[in-house]
Amino acid sequence: MKSLWIETTKGKIELEQLNQNEETEVCVIGAGLFGLTTAYYLSQEGKKVTVLEKGDIGEKVSGNTTGKITSQHGLFYNHLIQDFGEDYAQKYLKANEKAIKNIKDIIDKENIECDFNIKNSYIYTTQEDEVIEIQKEVEAVNKLEKNAKFVTKTELPFKIKGAIEFEGQAQFNPSKYMIGLCKAILKNNKIYNYTTVLDVKYDEDKYIIYTDRGNIVAKYVVLATHYPILNTPGFYFLKMYQSTSYIIAIETNQKIPQEMYINVKEPIYSFRTADYNGRQILLIGGSDHKTGDAISDDSNYKNLENKAKELYPDCKVLFRWNTRDCIGLDKIPYIGEFSNLMKNMYVGTGFKKWGMTSSNIAAEIVTDKIIGKENEFEEIFKATRLKPIKNRWELKNMIKQSVNSIALNKLKIEPDDINKIENDNGAIIEINGENIGIYKDSTGKIYAVKPVCTHLGCLLAWNNLDKTWDCPCHGSRFDFKGNNIYEPAIQKLETKNL
């Protein structure tokens, strides 16, 4: 299941694989929005940059988003003021507003055709008891010197109780934008795809990046892999989990809303328009759950499709896809130095479903760190922070969720009877006291793996929708053959002979 963005940009850019050892000044690992924007900014500063990507550019998270470019990150600013103070919240808002302008400036400078449009963004509710939360958010945002409005009418095809309106937001096609970034980077620097980083070692004031196709030596390393592939000394696996959300694209002959919308609480429904084959279609997103929960069917898509049919009875589903987002303990992205113990290594992660602006903020901060320039937003996103007083309950909850998910997976272990597994399905069974992950394809052919994540050893769950083995602890994913497809794990699963 490919996204609208990925499907409509196939073959628009050709890249090469690494085929020899090379040296560079900066090695960026990961070619999503954060990695490519960082490489773009560094290229503009005259730096020698090499980008490494294990698959195609932007095909994991960045090319599977909603493509909303907004500083409106849920009802978040009242929370920020309460927990971190007004000055902190104002800087967060200012950073994200600046990111919207930065993206438009790049598009204009590089003449990138990516369906960029300025839009208003709304968080709405249909529930009377949620109106007070929206009103408090309006007050909070206005304190931060952005004009937010409380409204009770929108163009949505149903009545609302209230909404907060942000003007001057935007939307685009993220894959087209990333192709534009690539073309600008390739004028002076290199991007290699289908080149998997296996390890990174520090050696005499430089880093050696080991890949499956050769090694790169660099003074600086930027980990732009969505979830950091290095465990220590950063310990990001103690500070984040991953969440999965779903999107469908529909066409209808009815009038569709032209602005961007999302509601306050679960069940989440997000709306935006997109251009496809010369007409406007509607994207509906939501159905979030923790990555690694066992998924047996397509009910998450069905929830969205049922909502679409309720609102637009004549609609036809054109695309459906899902994506994963890293969520930090305090819901603030981790940006900057990877660890106080490793100089010249930088990270951007934990974008909490708002990666369009967060990736640009991260790219600017990391670029400024590398060129020795002060950045006014660096301190509020500092990646090495860990405030035990604020974070201890969220950390405890995250660990509890992971333990519960693993326990649920263990309950799915069945007796030693492979015949009970239906074709095109998978399960964990016990053979001679050992857990074995079994998948039967549509012809009955069996694929067997050790269902233990190669990241930190958590028991995996079978995802029958995507035909993947998913980790409930940190969100790593593997295909039914055991090949790694999502970080933080980078090694494939051990295959088993039956």
| Domain contains 250 | yes
Q: Looking at the structure, tell me whether residues 318 and 248 fall in a common domain.
A: yes
The CATH number of the domain holding residue 438 is: 2.102.10.10
Q: Looking at the structure, tell me whether residues 308 and 364 fall in a common domain.
A: no
pLDDT in tens, 168-182: 999 999 999 999 999
Q: Looking at the structure, tell me whether residues 149 and 247 fall in a common domain.
A: yes
Give me the pLDDT at residue 296, please: 73
Tokens matching residue 169: 């937001």
Q: Looking at the structure, tell me whether residues 318 and 345 fall in a common domain.
A: no
Q: Looking at the structure, tell me whether residues 155 and 275 fall in a common domain.
A: yes
Residues of the domain holding 60? 4-64+175-239+331-386
Mean pLDDT (the chain) is 92
Q: Looking at the structure, tell me whether residues 229 and 266 fall in a common domain.
A: no
Bridge partner residues of 69 (DSSP): 170
Is residue 349 classed as helix, strand or coil in its secondary structure?
strand
| Domain contains 44 | yes
Give me the pLDDT at residue 452, please: 94
Q: Looking at the structure, tell me whether residues 300 and 440 fall in a common domain.
A: no
| Domain contains 359 | yes
Q: Looking at the structure, tell me whether residues 343 and 381 fall in a common domain.
A: yes
Q: Looking at the structure, tell me whether residues 227 and 248 fall in a common domain.
A: no
117 closest CA partner among 82, 70, 81, 161: 70
Give me the pLDDT at residue 413, please: 46
DSSP notation for 416-469: S-GGGSPTTEEEEEEETTEEEEEEE-TT--EEEE--B-TTT-PBPEEETTTTEE
pLDDT band at 411; cut points 50, 70, 90: very low
Query: What one-letter code names the amino acid at 425?
Result: N
Distance, in Å, from the CA atom of 428 to the CA atom of 449, rounded to the nearest integer, reads 9
| Domain contains 391 | no
What's the total number of domains in the chain? 3
Least confident residue range of 169-173, 308-312, 464-468: 464-468
pLDDT band at 398; cut points 50, 70, 90: low
Q: Looking at the structure, tell me whether residues 272 and 311 fall in a common domain.
A: yes
Is residue 19 classed as helix, strand or coil in its secondary structure?
coil
> What is the C-alpha end-to-end distance of the chain, expressed in Å?
30
Final residue in a domain of this structure, among 327, 353, 372: 327
pTM for this prediction: 0.90
Q: Looking at the structure, tell me whether residues 164 and 245 fall in a common domain.
A: yes
Give me the pLDDT at residue 279, please: 95
| Domain contains 355 | yes
| Domain contains 86 | no
Q: Looking at the structure, tell me whether residues 216 and 278 fall in a common domain.
A: no
pLDDT in tens, 142-162: 999 999 999 999 999 999 999
| Domain contains 46 | yes
DSSP notation for 389-410: HHHHHHHHHHHHHHHHHHHHHH
Cα dihedral: 187, 191, 193, 198 (round 10): 170
Query: What one-letter code names the amino acid at 184?
Result: A
Between these two residues, 296 and 87, which has the higher pLDDT value? 87
Final residue in a domain of this structure, among 359, 386, 413: 386
The CATH number of the domain holding residue 258 is: 3.30.9.10
| Domain contains 273 | yes
Share of the chain above pLDDT 70, in %: 94
The CATH number of the domain holding residue 42 is: 3.50.50.60
